[in-house]
């Protein structure tokens, strides 16, 4: 499949998301790498890749391969999900669609709290997981994962972050994810932990590129 955009310098990384919250976090986490970061909107790729699979791993792998083929660029795609033990691991890979395809963050939070209305605190254990896939055109994506454990609060707290952050309580910090300053969230979140592993791969790719033919 030929790229849909004009050739760009090789050291460009496509952050393959249309979610502005994810984009901000990933740009902040990876912005000091010697790469130019771009996104689908900047490249004129308007369609949002579907998430057709039932696992975070397969969705991340599919999106990374799809956008790498579309753009001709190194590509980072992630799929993240909230896994609630009392709901058998749901919403998981369906986190963004848990309350329906047109639902807002508030709708999804309300759906979770409704389902957990009678669940006592000790059984409200949950985790955020983030799987990041890195792809170079023509190569199989490489996967890394980050996770953070916590509980589902009885009501939303905090105004930072996005998604389920206002109800994800981290006992070690005594706060929900949405109550954390961004610099703290970007140290301890599931996406931050996955991004640190992704950095190592990107740095290795850059070293390999710099050494090509001379090392």
Residues recognised as catalytic: 79
Three-state DSSP at 130 gives strand
Strands lying side by side in the sheet with 125-135: 36-38, 12-15, 74-84, 125-135, 142-152, 168-170, 175-176
Q: How many residues does the chain have?
A: 215
Residues belonging to the binding site for Mg(2+) are: 50, 79
DSSP string of 143-193, one letter each residue: EEEEEEEEEE-SS---SSS-TTGGGEEETTTTEEGGGS-HHHHHHHSHHHH
Residue from 215, 214, 211, 209 nearest 74 by CA: 209
Report how far residue 215's alpha carbon sits from residue 199's, in angstroms, rounded to the nearest whole number.
22
- Output the known binding site for substrate: 17-22, 80, 162-165, 185, 190-191
Name the binding residues. Answer: 17-22, 50, 79-80, 162-165, 185, 190-191
């Amino acid at each position: 499949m030929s790229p849909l955009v004009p050739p760009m310098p090789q050291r460009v990384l496509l952050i393959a998301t249309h979610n502005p919250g994810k984009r901000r976090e990933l740009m902040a986490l990876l912005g000091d790498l010697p790469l130019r970061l771009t996104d689908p909107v900047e490249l004129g790729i308007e369609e949002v890749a579907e998430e057709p699979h039932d696992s975070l791993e397969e969705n991340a792998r599919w999106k990374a391969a799809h956008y790498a083929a579309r753009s001709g660029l190194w590509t980072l795609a992630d799929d993240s999900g909230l896994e609630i033990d009392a709901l058998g691991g749901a919403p998981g890979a369906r986190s963004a669609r848990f309350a329906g395809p047109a639902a807002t963050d508030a709708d999804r939070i309300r759906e979770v709290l409704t389902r957990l209305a009678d669940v006592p605190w000790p059984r409200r254990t949950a985790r955020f997981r983030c799987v990041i896939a890195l792809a170079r055109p023509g190569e199989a994506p490489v996967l890394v994962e980050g996770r953070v454990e916590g509980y589902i609060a009885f009501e939303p707290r905090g105004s930072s972050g996005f998604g389920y952050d206002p109800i994800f309580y981290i006992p070690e910090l005594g706060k929900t994810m949405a109550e954390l300053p961004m610099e703290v969230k970007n140290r301890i979140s599931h996406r931050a932990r996955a991004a640190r592993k992704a950095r190592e791969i990107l740095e290795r790719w850059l070293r390999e590129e710099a050494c090509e033919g001379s090392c």
